[in-house]
Amino acid sequence: GAGVSQSPSNKVTEKGKDVELRCDPISGHTALYWYRQRLGQGLEFLIYFQGNSAPDKSGLPSDRFSAERTGESVSTLTIQRTQQEDSAVYLCASSLAPRETQYFGPGTRLLVL
Amino acid sequence: AQKVTQAQTEISVVEKEDVTLDCVYETRDTTYYLFWYKQPPSGELVFLIRRNSFDEQNEISGRYSWNFQKSTSSFNFTITASQVVDSAVYFCALSGASGGSYIPTFGRGTSLIVHP
């Protein structure tokens, strides 16, 4: 079956612009996670959704970052007024239920010039 | 609090060598899951295995094997007769099975380089 998909695969933007990153989880997966991975680094948790609710937003680095999920499916991560330090790969993962195995998408590589 | 330590930052081997990637964890949960993921140069994390804390049986899948030792809080991963295609960053992760945080804890990863 289809895995987790993310779009765009690559995004180059200018400092100060807003960007939207999209994640389509595996159908039926109730839990959805966003992570950030800087070059050569590990995974940095950003936000977790259960259904359309986000019980844990503790990893969002600033109020420039927000995310939503609709229809217990697609999620969008929005970064406003991008900064160069936002450059990273943004990974989305979904799981059938919380604490179950997470399946990752291919990521969106964001470059802020 | 949970913690996953992958002390080996980078390992370099020659093809056909066996290699073991270490993973040591800390948790107060009595039941938990342990995971290994592979991140090849393409960037997508690929799920390899999940182990329930109740099940201490070692597992073998082809050239891959996992050694779970609850007594030493370790979940090590061995690749037998390594191949160039095994070159990747490998992440170990821990998730509580009940109560506590829903967010898994990932180690910092071990970069494996297999030379031809």
CA–CA min distance B26, chain A (Å): 17
CA–CA min distance B17, chain A (Å): 25
Flag whether residue B109 sits within 8 Å of chain A, measured between CB atoms: yes
Measured between alpha carbons, how far is B108 from A41 in angstroms, rounded to an integer?
Answer: 7
Q: Which residue has the tokens 């180690």?
A: B107
Q: What is the mean pLDDT of residues A45-72?
A: 92
Band of residue A98 on the pLDDT scale cut at 50, 70, 90: confident
- Compare CB distances from A99 to B47, B102, B106 and report the shortest one's residue: B102
Measured between alpha carbons, how far is A42 from B84 in angstroms, rounded to an integer?
Answer: 22
pLDDT digits (tens, 9 = 90+) for A60-76: 999 999 999 999 899 99
Residue-level pLDDT at A41: 87
User: Best residue in B103, B106, B108, B110 to probe A by mutation, most A CBs within 10 Å?
Assistant: B103
Q: Pick the range with the lowest mean pLDDT from A4-13, A37-46, A80-89, B83-92.
A: A37-46
- Comparing A55 with A13, the larger pLDDT belongs to A13
Measured between alpha carbons, how far is A46 from A92 in angstroms, rounded to an integer?
Answer: 10
Which residues in chain B are contacts of A57 at CB distance < 8 A? none
3-state secondary structure of A57: coil
- Compare CB distances from B45 to A50, A99, A104 and report the shortest one's residue: A104
- CB burial of residue B4 (10 Å; 0-12, 13-18, 19+): buried
User: Best residue in B106, B111, B113 to probe A by mutation, most A CBs within 10 Å?
Assistant: B106
Measured between alpha carbons, how far is A85 from A41 in angstroms, rounded to an integer?
Answer: 14
Q: For residue A42, what are the CA distances in angstroms to A35, A57, B39?
A: 10, 19, 11
Residue-level pLDDT at B99: 65
Mean pLDDT by 10 residues, chain B (116 residues): 93 98 94 94 92 88 94 96 97 84 89 97
